[in-house]
Copies of this chain bind each other. A is one copy, B any other.
């Protein structure tokens, strides 16, 4: 109330607060902040579930893309999907990732604004999104990548 009396709004506060470095990265394009190249978690569609999980752990984004050598996206598999596979009692030791993946996957274009990507992740209840030109994978971005400058 005191701050408001001085013309300092709630939004100013969220942005300027020492703990609140929101906003700075959000005006960048997704292409400026996404993970590319070796940082992209990916396996081909012949991979086993076990290989896919190792890749998820290695790249630390909570998911792996399933794509071919030309980077054409076939699907995605997340930590949440692993849990659901489990819940369903699927026999896991010899499972192939192609049989378990989510076909397609939610994707955005590299020129989208970070703030729009963050809102899309919120509204679709996901924590990371594929970045693609058509069906060709060019990056992956996690909610964590968008916060702090």
Q: Residues of A with Cβ closer than 8 Å to B?
A: 10-11, 13-15, 17, 19-24, 26-27, 50, 53-54, 56-57, 62, 78-80, 82-84, 86-87, 92, 113, 115-116, 118-123, 125, 127, 143-144, 147-148
A22 and B118 in contact (CB under 8 A), knowing A79-B80, A79-B83, A82-B86?
yes
Residues of B within 8 A of A56 (CB): 83
Taking the closest CB of chain B, its distance from the CB of A144, in whole angstroms, is 5
Number of identical monomers bound together in the oligomeric complex: 2
A20 and B116 in contact (CB under 8 A), knowing A27-B14, A122-B144, A127-B127?
yes
Taking the closest CB of chain B, its distance from the CB of A145, in whole angstroms, is 9
